[in-house]
Chain A
Amino acid sequence: MIAAATSPSELYVWLHGLWQRTGLPEGWWLVLWAVLVAAVTMAFVLLTVMILVWLERKVAGDIQSRVGPSRVGTRFGVLQSGADALKLLLKEDIIPACADKPLFIIAPFIVFVPAFMVYTVLPFGRGLVAENLNLGLLYVVAVSALPAVGFIMAGWGSNNKYAILGAVRAVAQLMTYEVPLGLALLTVVMAAGSLSTVDIVKYQGGLWNIARPPLLLAFVVYFICAMAEVNRIPFDLPEAEAELVAGYHVEYSGMRFAMFFMGEYAYLFFVSGFATTLFLGGWHGPFLPPILWFLIKTYAIILLMMWIRWTYPRLRIDQVMRFGWKVLVPVALVNLLWAAFAFAR
């Protein structure tokens, strides 16, 4: 019976059946189910973050003709992330004497929680989505703008000049690239005729979105924006090591720092998975199970981003802004117009 439960809907029915047999109130069931879904998603996100951190270090090592992690856990260093997480957990939690304490403490959560919330609408496979919101895309755009508040709080709360500069950069960059990102998403919505992520994947059953010319361009715009949203080279200005040392999280240590770090990698997986959902046909693909297809495509995009990160230099803040407003926004707008004609029904 458990083997048959391949999607949450079937699982849901089965578990719900069990619950009803116990005779406990229905209201409690809803709470329990919500907690269960959240716990599973949380576990997945945390595991993914650990895999990504390890993968990034391995990829970087390979590109830079080094070995990368190779000591903790086999000669491939697979347990390195775990060791690092443990180290961060055990580290002293330092709050600077002159910091604005409440802001300083809350900021990491405001950055991390949205990165986790957006997973709600990410369809991992057929029926494998935490909640099929009919306004899924709008939800993502709204939630993913929230970390900007956390950045400012961290930068201001730290009472450090490097931190405030990093925060200002982060917010400016995030706001700038939200605009073309939103326009690229709108192009997809026009084609699929729905804001629901599940519907968008279903729409690509025959032909992936990336194979439709206006959406190919939208994908390029989305991809560039996504890199800017997750602060990766060439857009890693908010934490530019050579300039600002670490940016807005310069004063954070231990687990609070880890929250920023995890948020970043959780978001990296999300934007890649979202690209898969919107442009690469989501879970669609022959032979292999849907979830595997989804992961393969997502990791392909993640590897592409890592490749770029370890190859290119960093842009300057004014160049980032100019590129966002003067290149990406017009391109996305014209593309939107093109899509409007192409997908007119």
Chain B
Amino acid sequence: MSATDTSRYTGPVGDSPIGAGLPTEEMIINMGPQHPSTHGVLRLILTLEGEVVADVDPDIGYLHRGMEKIAENRTYAQYLPYTDRFDYLSAINNNLAYCLAVEKLAGIEVPERAQYIRVVFAELNRIASHLLFLASFGNDVGATTVFLYGLRERELIVDLFEMALGARLTYSGLRIGGLPYDLPEGFAQACRTALPQISERLAENDRLLTGNRIFEARTRGVGVMSREKAIAWGLSGPTLRGSGAAMDVRRDDPYCVYDRLDFDVPTFEEGDCLARYLVRIEEMRQSMRIVEQCLKQMPQGEVRAKLPRVFKPPAGEAYGRTEAPRGDLSMFVVSDGSTNPCRLRVRAPSFANLQALREMARGHKIGDIVAILGSIDIVLGDIDR
């Protein structure tokens, strides 16, 4: 991404008011790819002026697996498990974007029950992903205990997924045309037991972290992104809504059965780390509302449309757009009429969101970089693919 020569940097010499007249030098420091706070294998090239970050240059690609190219050598059904590994913290949402695109391409009508179940899964996955955000963000600002609490709460959701799909992280839980099988018996009941518990613990977390003076001091006014800039940089998801722009694919471009569900799109005007954090906390509550409504409205019936044994969508192209936990996750599939996709392109939210890091982080302290990066909530599998 960058051609900065880190061994011989000849940038401008700083003019810090402290020790004026003394020659100072900028310090170039490599944060990552092995660093506890870069959320995976991200390398940040920081240019430091003492504790102040003069510049930050994200270097990506350490997790590149050539996922888009692999699609061209797999049949449509074979490729589905690969989508789990894009944003592995919200595998269902990735499956969904892929399935939507392929179904649109082949003109498949998904049974209504399957649509509801897909929304339930997607929203549960969103809660799980946001809980992991809560955990890692807590850790980033030094609240180690929140890290454990976030993971503990997430466990409840992961258990639900294990019950429904048999997997705990990479579910491959959807199929082109619907779902592999119906919900297991007692799933709705299990949901209704788990979600209030999470909701209760979120309220507990509000008392532990959200209202904490130190937490506020660390996040308020840090990494501010104005509404205009956030839109101009192509941000999406909670990172965008934290800047006061109410864009949510679920509401603006509904898919599945979102148009029949009643939910709010929380936004905060401040555009700082705290706003992005609050958006996610509120979204978890909204997701619980959605799940509750789906469980109530869900009709009986088939969960999978009939597909031909050899699945060959007609030549053409389709764009499947979803709101993943990290933002607008879309997939563009081109078919030449064969069994494999001719081209697959992923519009990954983390990739677009990470671009704004430099804009947000310049001029802040090292500690803030960690908080800002955490508040963007990137997943490297989503960025590098």
Query: A residues within 8 Å of B by Cβ?
Result: 60, 63-66, 161-162, 165, 169, 233-234, 236-237, 240-245, 310-319
- Which B residues lie at the A interface, using CB under 8 A? 27, 29, 35-37, 48, 51, 138-145, 148-149, 152, 208-209, 212, 214-215, 217-218, 365-370
Q: Are B145 and A165 in contact (CB under 8 A)?
A: no
Known contacts A242-B37, A242-B370; is A161 also within 8 Å of B217 by CB? Answer: no
Query: In the complex, how many angstroms separate the beta carbon of B171 from the nearest chain A beta carbon?
Result: 26
Given A63, A236, A242, A312, which contacts B214 in the complex, CB threshold below 8 Å?
A: A312
- CB neighbours (8 Å) of A162 from chain B are 29
Write out the residue numbers on chain B whose beta carbons fall within 8 Å of the beta carbon of A165.
29, 48, 51, 366
Do B51 and A313 have beta carbons less than 8 Å apart? no
B329 CB to nearest chain A CB (Å): 27
CB distance from B313 to the nearest CB of A (A): 46
- B152 & A243 in contact (Cβ 8 Å cutoff): no
**Cα of A241 to Cα of B367 in the assembled complex, Å:** 10
B209 and chain A: residue at smallest CB distance:
A313
Most buried by B among A237, A245, A314: A314
Closest A residue by C-beta to B222: A316
Nearest CB in chain B: distance from A222 CB, A:
20
Chain A residues with CB under 8 A of B141 = 242, 313-314
Q: Which of B148, B365, B368 contacts A66 (CB 8 A)?
A: B148
Complex CA–CA separation, A46 to B303 (angstroms): 65
B143 A316 Cβ-Cβ under 8 A: no
A318 partner residues in chain B, CB cutoff 8 A = 51, 365
Residues of the A chain whose Cβ atoms lie less than 8 Å from the Cβ of B144: 60, 64, 233, 310
The CA-CA distance from A243 to B367 in the complex, in Å, is 6
Complex Cα gap A318–B208 (Å): 23
Q: How far is the CA of A270 from the CA of B208 in the complex (A)?
A: 30
Q: Tell me what chain B mostly uses at the interface: helix, strand, loop, or mixed.
A: helix
Q: Which 10 A-B pairs have the closest CB atoms?
A: A314-B142, A64-B148, A313-B143, A313-B141, A242-B37, A313-B142, A316-B367, A161-B29, A313-B214, A313-B215
> Is the Cβ of B217 less than 8 Å from the Cβ of A315?
yes
Contact B208 A314, beta carbon cutoff 8 Å: no
CB-based contact B36/A245 at 8 Å: yes
Whether B145 contacts A311 by the Cβ 8 Å rule is: yes
* Chain B residues, Cβ within 8 Å of A319: 217-218
Number of contacts between A and B (CB, 8 Å)? Answer: 83
- In the assembled complex, the Cα of A313 lies from the Cα of B218 at a distance in Å of 9
Contacts beyond the supplied A162-B29, A317-B51, A318-B51: 20 A-B pairs with Cβ under 8 Å: A60-B145, A66-B148, A233-B144, A234-B214, A236-B142, A242-B37, A242-B139, A242-B141, A245-B35, A310-B145, A311-B143, A311-B145, A311-B208, A312-B143, A312-B212, A312-B214, A313-B138, A313-B143, A314-B214, A314-B367
Closest to A233 in B: B142
B217 to A316, Cβ gap below 8 A? yes
Cross-chain pairs A/B with CB under 8 angstroms, 21 sampled: A64-B145, A64-B148, A64-B149, A65-B148, A165-B366, A233-B144, A234-B142, A237-B367, A242-B142, A243-B369, A310-B145, A311-B143, A311-B208, A313-B138, A313-B141, A313-B143, A313-B209, A316-B218, A317-B51, A317-B365, A318-B51
CB of B44 to closest CB in A, whole Å: 12
Question: In the docked arrangement, what's the CA distance between A245 and B35, Å?
Answer: 7
In the bound complex, do residue A315 and residue B370 qualify as a contact, i.e. CB atoms below 8 Å apart?
no
A240 to B142, CA, bound (A): 8
- B34 (CB) vs chain A CBs: closest residue: A245
> Are B370 and A243 neighbours in the complex by a CB distance under 8 Å?
yes
Min C-beta distance of B150 to chain A, whole Å: 11
Measured between alpha carbons, how far is A318 from B138 in the docked complex, in Å?
Answer: 20
Question: How far is it, in angstroms, between the C-alpha of A317 and the C-alpha of B142 when the chains are bound?
Answer: 13
In the assembled complex, the Cα of A237 lies from the Cα of B367 at a distance in Å of 9
Give chain A nearest CB distance to B215 CB in angstroms.
5
Cα of A66 to Cα of B141 in the assembled complex, Å: 21
Q: How far is the CB of B37 from chain A (nearest CB, A)?
A: 4
* In the complex, chain B residues whose CB is within 8 Å of the CB of A310: 144-145
